[in-house]
């Protein structure tokens, strides 16, 4: 894709060499490997390019530490729908009012999802999305987003999340925290810098009472290249798996591709408690990428395939079309909205 940044960000400040490890719930089982599938070809995947927007100011932190998190066990579902990704932006890139966010989150809940993934703390998402999610018994996958400003620009989000938890007095409903989203793939930081930042963030969240998994997510190609650096610092292994960006994969093969890539993720980072596909979908508009053809019928076929093969461990991307984005290569970046295909 075309949004690579050539200037490397500043190196992160000194981070602790280690952080308290995630203790998985005793009844959480590692998912069974997917059915055998043909070897998947390497594909560079597109980044969602989370738009930097106005970030909410951190809340004043009370003296008391929030109660330790209650982690749903296991994360994910044995069914075909676990998580939907959500960004609280208008079509022009502004922040949606809280009433619109509440309506969107209610719709996600009625479509059968158990969790919602947000990428960052901007647009007051910690308050508006989390409040609506709690009202509908949706769990949260929170994000610390690393943009072109690098790790130094992302660091304040750690305290914003902790301040939000302090204001609530608990971490209930927070399933996972994801530090970075394809940050290495987009040249926003180095793998070594990202690993140090994950450790830093994890230490801060543990001190604040969060006991759930902290991880990052990249393309599988990036994880494979930097597995000795990134895998050890992650409590669970996660990747963004987009079948469309492999030009040999047709829409009706999307589920098989995702299942094979999750198996590859397990081989890349062996020994983890669980493996997740934190961003996946298919565009409804745009130009073909080889055998990967955008379109409404194709999107429906791809989503159905992914649901059947790995929906219980996948975050579907995205709730609605992201009209604030550039169209990008193949003209597809705005057209991954798939919420209409559920429920």
What DSSP designation does 194 have? H
Q: Which of 175, 256, 266, 279 is catalytic?
A: 279
Catalytic annotation present for 55: no
Structure tokens at 187: 């040249």
Choose, from 160, 175, 182, 298, the residue flagged as catalytic: 182
The two three-digit tokens of residue 120, written as one number:
């960052």
182 part of the active site? yes
Other beta carbons less than 10 A from residue 36's beta carbon = 9
**Token reading at 317:** 């991307």
The span from the first CA to the last CA of the chain, in angstroms, equals 32
Q: Which residues contact 314 (CB under 8 A, 6 or more apart)?
A: 82, 83, 241, 258, 276, 277, 278, 280, 306
**Nearest in space to 252 (alpha carbons), one of 293, 298, 212:** 298
Distance CA 308, CA 305 (A): 5
* Bridge-based pairing state of the strands 214-217 and 174-181: parallel
- Residue numbers annotated as active site: 182, 279
């Amino acid at each position: 894709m075309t949004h690579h940044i050539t200037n490397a960000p500043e190196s992160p400040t000194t981070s602790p060499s280690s952080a308290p490890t995630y203790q998985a719930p005793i009844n959480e089982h590692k998912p069974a490997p997917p059915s055998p599938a043909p070897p998947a070809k390497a594909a560079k995947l597109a980044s969602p390019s989370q738009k930097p927007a106005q970030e909410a100011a951190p809340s004043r932190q009370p003296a008391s530490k929030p109660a330790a998190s209650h982690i749903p066990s296991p994360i994910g579902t044995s069914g075909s729908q676990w998580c939907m990704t959500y960004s609280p932006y208008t079509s022009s890139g502004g922040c949606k009012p809280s009433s619109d966010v509440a309506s969107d989150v209610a719709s996600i809940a009625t479509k059968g999802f158990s969790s919602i993934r947000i990428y960052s703390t901007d647009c007051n998402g910690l308050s508006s999305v989390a409040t609506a999610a709690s009202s509908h018994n949706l769990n949260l996958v929170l994000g610390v987003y690393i943009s072109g400003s690098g790790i130094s620009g992302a660091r304040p989000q750690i305290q914003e999340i902790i301040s939000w938890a302090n204001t609530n007095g608990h971490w209930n409903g927070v399933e996972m925290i994801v530090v970075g989203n394809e940050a290495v793939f987009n040249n926003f930081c180095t793998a070594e810098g990202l690993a140090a930042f994950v450790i830093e963030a994890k230490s801060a969240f543990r001190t604040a009472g969060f006991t759930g998994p902290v991880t990052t997510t990249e393309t599988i190609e990036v994880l494979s290249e930097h597995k000795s650096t990134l895998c050890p610092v992650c409590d669970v292994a996660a990747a963004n798996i987009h079948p469309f960006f492999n030009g040999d994969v047709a829409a009706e093969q999307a589920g098989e591709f995702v299942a094979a890539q999750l198996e590859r993720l397990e081989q890349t980072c062996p020994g983890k408690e669980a493996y997740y596909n934190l961003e996946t979908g298919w565009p409804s508009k745009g130009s073909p990428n080889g055998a990967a053809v955008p379109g409404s019928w194709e999107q429906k076929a791809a989503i159905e395939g992914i649901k059947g093969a790995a929906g219980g461990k996948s975050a579907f991307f995205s709730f609605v079309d992201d009209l604030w984005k550039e169209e990008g290569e193949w003209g597809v970046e705005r057209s991954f909205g798939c919420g209409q295909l559920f429920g």
